[in-house]
Amino acid sequence: MTKLKRFRRKQFLDKIITKRRLIILNEETFEEQFSLRLTILNVFLLATIGAIFLISVTTYIIAFTTLREYIPGYSSTELKEKALLLGLKSDSLEFQLKKNDAYIESVKKVLTGDLEYAKVNKDSILASDYVDPSEYEMNASQEELQLRKQVEEAAKKDSK
């Protein structure tokens, strides 16, 4: 059985390594235009290298040019920048709208007599949106205190 396998393997290698001739002929005159000696192994290697080259060039073109914008899921950098700017504008417009609504509500209260005119002030309306950080308990945890000590010790060592 092993001799049979060896024989088949040798026969396969002989087929791959055996040189063959590729000839291109002129069909009308049967004149040889081009001749090339090849092996099946050479053709296989050439085809593999060509395929790898073609795939890498295609990947490079798609990844580093504007062609990637045509692939679903990719968007242009210009579109991303515009979306970011529009998001920022909408946030600022929302904030301005809230301020204007609060001002209009306070003016309505003055007109209906619910509030004195002296109390209506645009600065007081703006201050109503202010959140005082002292309202929240902001105590450092034990882990944070230990980290602060480590950072101070490292800064002392670096300064020496």
How far are the Cα atoms of 25, 134, 136, 144, 145 from residue 139, in angstroms, in the given order?
90, 11, 9, 10, 10
The rounded distance, in Å, linking the Cα atoms of 91 and 88 is 5
DSSP 138: -
pTM of the model: 0.45
pLDDT tens sequence across 104-125: 888 888 788 776 555 555 666 6
pLDDT tens sequence across 3-33: 888 888 888 888 888 999 989 999 989 898 9
Between 27 and 1, residue with greater pLDDT: 27
The rounded distance, in Å, linking the Cα atoms of 95 and 43 is 69
pLDDT tens sequence across 64-93: 888 887 887 777 778 888 999 999 999 899
